[in-house]
Amino acid sequence: MRPLSDTLARLARLRAAGAGVGGAGASEPDHLPPGIAFGANPGALDARLYAPAGLPGGAPLVVVLHGCKQTAAGYDRGTGWTKLADRHGFAVLYAEQRRGNNANLCFNWFQPGDIARDAGEALSIRQMVGHAADHLRTDPRRVYVTGLSAGGAMTAVMLATYPDVFAGGAVIAGLPYGVAATIPEAFDRMRGQGLGSDARLVERVRSATRHGGPWPTLSVWHGSADQTVVPSNGEALLTQWRGLHDLGIAPTQIETVDGQRRRVWRDGEGRAVLEAYTIAGLGHGTPVDAGSPDGIGASGAFILDAGISSTHHIARFWGITEVADGKRSAEKPTQTERAPVLTLEHAAAPSDQAQRPRANIPPPGGHEPEGRQRTPVSGVQKVIEDALRAAGLMK
């Protein structure tokens, strides 16, 4: 068992660095449409739905999940998803966390009750998608999801639990699906420890549903200097989805895009189903091109100017815009070249023991949403839970 002093020390470092998996932007002005009502909302989330004027039926829908200590409006201002939607004709749906669920506005990617199909926050996001489809008549075959960090990990949750809903996804500085079910596990996985064997990673997604159809495509983005969610998480995510798509370890194609390395895996029909961008020297955040004349991308806390627009390139990968501007130089792999893929077989898989109970202390300054009431706790457990909640890792 991890010593209490170790857990508290990690929490202190995490809080000082910006309170964990995510970013900032919660205090910025709001420019998105008001929240909408949708479904039963068992995860007690908010939804912000944006549609360009005159959007025709049959348009694509992009679901966006912000990071910790961020809001939908702040993340949109930095990444420019609604600006891109205006230019190319698609709808944008922002799921937004509430402080009653997580003190630092993190999506609860490590809570078992929020990451299963038809439960908690995952079901709330699914209900938002259904509302958007009914309201805007978006194309059910072109629904996509992307997110940063905790939002990136929640993106992996949505792709795993609703592969029949999403055609594609993009995970930025996130984690694989199903690797953490307790607070200590969440800390360890962010540090790249105990992610599990290759086979176990794949099985976690396969066992999430009874899905028998094609799997969504996936774009993975990670900074090489990320110390919050270390790059081995991005490699483990690639391992997870290569297994689902039955792809080999070596990429089909390696190229340079806007000065950054891009790896591509194609299926038997030549379709690009998996891609990975490794952003050299980038820390923890969403890469944007803040100097671009098109006005899409503004740097901020955990939205980092890297001279490459993840928003543009993700949309291009999904096929909902034309090819983004960017100089490319193809690099033909040699016979012996291999992508730097993490070998996970030597790591111990996370324990499958019974899940621990959830937190039991009401959040400060508010009441629990319906269906999430808790009972008081005391003693050492209370000390730990207060610290975890302060870091945004417990509700």
Three-point CA angle 363, 35, 174, nearest 5°: 65
- The answer to whether 126 and 155 have CB atoms below 8 angstroms apart is no
Tokens, residue 97? 């966390």
- The answer to whether 260 and 277 have CB atoms below 8 angstroms apart is yes
Closest by Cα among 50, 102, 95 to 72: 95
Query: Is the dihedral angle over the CA atoms 72, 78, 81, 85 positive or is it negative?
Result: positive
Give me the catalytic one of 27, 124, 149, 309: 149
- The answer to whether 130 and 166 have CB atoms below 8 angstroms apart is no
Residue type for position 79: T
Q: Is 149 a catalytic residue?
A: yes
For 236-260, letters b (16+ CB in 10 Å) and e give bbbbbbbbbbebeeebbebeebbeb
Return the biggest CA–CA distance within the chain: 61
- The answer to whether 170 and 88 have CB atoms below 8 angstroms apart is no
Q: Which residues, other chains included, contact 53 with Cβ-Cβ below 8 Å and sequence gap of 6+? A: none
169 alpha-carbon distance from chain centroid: 9
CA of 23: how far to CAs of 16, 17, 105, 121, 165, in Å?
Answer: 12, 10, 10, 20, 28
Catalytic residues: 149
